[in-house]
Chain A
Amino acid sequence: MGSLARAYGRPLAALIAAITVVWVLVLVLVPLGAMIEQSLWWRESKGDTSLAIDRLYNDMSTLQLDRSSATDPARQAALDAQIAEKQAQATALEAQEKNPPKVYGFDNFTRISELHLYIFARTILYALMVTLLALVVCYPVAYSVALASGPRKAVILTVALIVPYAINELLRVYAWLMILDYRGVINGVLGWFGLVDLDNRGWIPFLENPSAVFVAMIYTYVLFMVFPMVNTLETLDRNQIEAARDLGASSFRIHRRVIIPHAKPGIAVGCIMTFMLSAGSYSVPQIMTRGQGGDWFSQLVYRQFYESNNWNMGSAYAVSLLVVCTAFILIMMRLFGVGLRDIAK
């Protein structure tokens, strides 16, 4: 802090520090805290409250009936007292029904239904598979782009990758929707060859299969794997490869011992970005299933907020997702021996 003040003077240093503090608090930490807090409480509304209220009112009308037929003043007074007591109970229950008490605990996390838990696990599994497949598909691409000979070739290749990357992700998903649709490109081509009968709705329903989401997701996020890998591989000294080859190493061995170790930070970053984007993706499943299926966990989160209007449960879901993503990042960092500063290059 002292060196900041020395460099820019006290007023400016104070301003810079203030802006940073506001950023950390207003945009990052407090919203996160608010979400976690929201996930830790719920309104205790017992489902049978309204039933109990109805029963009390029934009892009261019976007592009223008794009271109107009773003649003994002592009996009348006793009935009045009973009615008043029931009325007080009903009023208390009604207040509770209108504004149920706030209760803190982990119930939002433990109350998750079996189906939702299954979708959660499947989302994580699919995201891992997307990440792995993207890594395998991209490695050769990143390798040849990074080591492409001639600056022009490298520029053109990079542009060929950047253009689809810059197109909005929704439009990229939409392109796949058109390909896999009932009367989409694949069914259309199959129809020309007479393999499916489109006129009698004999198409193959690709979109009804969860793998449609999977296919579109790889297409959408594959480039987030390519660029970090290209960035690290570009710094590789090609003489190292030449030297290894001259010394008689096989191609496989060169990749395993020279190239992959060098690409490690890029691989880690690529995996983290791809996993994070696909596990938290709302756009791809929403468009591919056209909002019909609840195939992806993010869709469940959205519904908790905007359809069930249960923000507490929704926050708990979001926190669970965040925990898994954070764990994934930490595991990757440990596994590849990279720090946070390598990641954000």
Chain B
Amino acid sequence: MSASTESRGAQLVLNIYVGLFCLYLFLPLAVMSAAAFNAFDYPSVTQWHGFTLKWFVALAHDQRLLQGLYNSVMVALGVIAVSIPTGLAGALILTRLGERSGTLLYSVLVSPVLTPGIILGISSLIFWREFGVPGGLFVAVMAQSSFIASYAMLLFLARLQRQDRTLEEAALDLGAGHFLVFRRITLPFLAPTAFTAAVVAFLQSFENYNTTVFAVGGDWTLVTEIASRLRFGLSPVINVVGVIFVALTLLAATAYVVLKGKPAR
């Protein structure tokens, strides 16, 4: 352990504060999770009617939620298909552009990340109506891709900055064609980033609500369906969805700590 930069008293106060902050983050989630196992019909922890798993069974028979899950996965796959190639193309151009024109293009390509989600949803909805496409899963894919492609681009851009360009140039000098160089050197170098970007895109798409709710029209994804359930009639089935989300996230986080913690020892 390296020496602390704070006095012992200050360090103690700081640790307590961070502990309280983590408690603040986790306690509401614990409340929500606990209610999934309560036999009472209304999601609650203070009116405890005994332990049950019946809400899990109810979820398994909930057609709209299951259909929403399917729709969410389809939209997320669509977003990956759109945003990974576009993000890659944008990053490749930006690394080769000069300072001034590069900054302008960069601003345009990054702007969706800084735009409120509802505005992305609205502008896509209006744009696609001009072509006779009403709000639905397709418009949701387009609306989400407009900012998720920016995230993918930022990931690719970071990777390309660490690229050793002499490799490509050497291959070209040795007589390899441009396609071959791109396929055998550039793409393999970017492959890990493409995988990361796809995972990020999937999660961002799956979790998205504010953009999707405007673009999705009469269709629904898992998240928009949860939102309308929260509006009309609360049921512990939603808590079950919550428990599953929390459990999966904890599992992933634990795996991450174990994998990351090992080589550090």
Binding site for B on A (CB under 8 A): 1, 3-4, 7-9, 11-12, 15-17, 19-20, 22-24, 26-32, 34-35, 38, 137, 140-141, 143-145, 147, 149-152, 155-157, 159-164, 166-179, 181, 183-185, 187-189, 191, 219, 223, 238, 241-242, 245, 251, 272, 276-277, 279-283, 286-287, 290-291, 298, 301-302, 305, 311, 314-315, 318, 321-322, 325, 329, 340-341, 343-345
Which one of B25, B86, B116 lies within 8 Å of A23 (CB-CB)? B86
Docked complex Cα distance between A272 and B111 (Å): 12
User: Given that A38-B126, A144-B18 are contacting pairs, would A24 and B109 also be in contact in the complex, using a CB cutoff of 8 Å?
Assistant: yes
* Partner-contacting stretch, out of B55-63, B189-197, B205-213: B205-213
- B17 part of interface (Cβ distance < 8 Å): yes
Which residue from chain B places its CB closest to the CB of A29 in the assembled complex?
B108
Chain A residues whose C-beta falls within 8 Å of the C-beta of B178 in the assembled complex: 8-9, 11-12
The residue that A325 contacts in the complex, of B92, B97, B115, with Cβ under 8 A, is B115
Give which listed residue, B32, B86, B150, contacts A171 with CB less than 8 A. B32
For A140, give the chain B residue with the smallest CB separation: B17
Specify which chain A residues have a CB less than 8 angstroms from the CB of B18 in the assembled complex.
140-141, 144-145, 157
Residues of B within 8 A of A175 (CB): 28-29, 31-32, 242
Decide if B106 touches A341 in the complex (CB within 8 Å): yes
Check if B253 sits within 8 Å of A277, measured CB to CB: no
| Contact, CB under 8 Å: A185 / B114 | no
Contact between B2 and A149, CB atoms less than 8 A apart: yes
Which of B35, B85, B119, B209 neighbours the largest number of chain A CB atoms within 10 Å of its CB?
B119
Chain B 88-119: CB-based contact to A (< 8 A → 1; otherwise 0): 01101100110000010111111111111111
Q: Chain B interface mostly helix, strand, loop or mixed?
A: helix
Q: How far is the CA of A32 from the CA of B114 in the complex (A)?
A: 14
Give the Cβ gap from B172 to chain A, nearest Cβ, in Å.
Answer: 8
- Asked if B230 and A188 make an inter-chain contact with CB atoms under 8 angstroms apart, the answer reads no
Asked if A23 and B207 make an inter-chain contact with CB atoms under 8 angstroms apart, the answer reads no
Q: How many A-B residue pairs have CB under 8 A?
A: 280
Q: Is B22 an interface residue (CB 8 A)?
A: yes
Seen from chain B, the residues whose Cβ lies within 8 Å of a Cβ on chain A are 1-6, 10, 14-15, 17-18, 21-22, 24-26, 28-29, 31-32, 35, 42-47, 85-86, 89-90, 92-93, 96-97, 103, 105-120, 122-127, 130, 142, 145-146, 149-150, 154, 165, 168, 177-179, 181-182, 186, 203, 207, 209-210, 213-214, 223, 226-227, 230-231, 234, 238, 241-242, 245-246, 249-250, 252-253, 256-257, 260-261, 264
Q: Are B241 and A340 in contact, CB atoms less than 8 angstroms apart?
A: no
Q: B245 contacts A31, CB within 8 Å?
A: no
Q: How far is the CA of A285 from the CA of B182 in the complex (A)?
A: 48
A141, A170, A322: the one within 8 Å of B230 (CB): A170
CB-based nearest A residue for B243: A171
Q: By the criterion CB–CB under 8 Å, are A155 and B261 in contact?
A: yes
Given A31-B127, A171-B245, A245-B5: A184 in contact with B118 (beta carbons within 8 A): no
A9 touches B177 (CB 8 A): yes
